Amino acid sequence: MPPGLRKFALTAHITFSVGWIGAVVGFLALVIAAMTREDAQTLRAVWIAMELTGWFAIVPLALASLLTGLVMSLGTRWGLFRHYWVLVSFTLTILATLVLLSNMQTVSFFAGLAAETNSADVDELRSGLWGELLHAGAGLLVLIVVQVLNVYKPRGLTPYGWRKQHEQRTASPSEDAAING
């Protein structure tokens, strides 16, 4: 990947990844606000806001982060299968995205309840908040682990990475000239 394109892709990936973390923090703030308020109107409003935040901020940022991470891994020297940290980071991102998409069904269910319920059904709306606190908290932890892996890039080549590295070291000068020429 040419340096200009690599910098653009890296900037996009960092922006989407950090945005995903920030959107999850905002989602957590909504969950905590709902858990600490007693009035039904706030509880209903928070469920609706959580659904909107999830579908219009968190999900698009997660998908964009996943896509740009794939582009970065395939378009740079790190590769997708050469280093364990890239493989673990990508796997965790896929898992986090799948759990997010699955959990958004629950959020949408409770947001629908919140939109049509009367103040007597507040207990049912409150019952889902602990699950959201767990999902968002665990999701934030996973995203921070991925971020740390991407910043520190711990050593460790996969068997595929070792093989590729060995192939590059043992390539003859004439092959190097043909490849680079």
Give the residues of the chain that fall short of pLDDT 50.
Answer: none
Domain count along the chain: 1
What pLDDT sits at residue 180? 53
Residues ≥6 apart with Cβ < 8 Å to 32? 133
33-71: pLDDT as tens digits: 999 998 899 999 999 999 999 999 999 999 999 999 999
In 3D space, the residue among 39, 62, 69, 46 whose CA is nearest the CA of residue 129 turns out to be 46
Give residue 172's pLDDT: 57
Give every CB contact of residue 19 below 8 A, 6+ residues apart in sequence.
57, 61, 65
Q: Print the domain residue range for 159.
A: 3-180
Q: What is the pLDDT of residue 38?
A: 87
Sign of CA dihedral 126, 62, 11, 164: positive
pLDDT digits (tens, 9 = 90+) for 131-142: 999 999 999 999
pLDDT at 178: 54
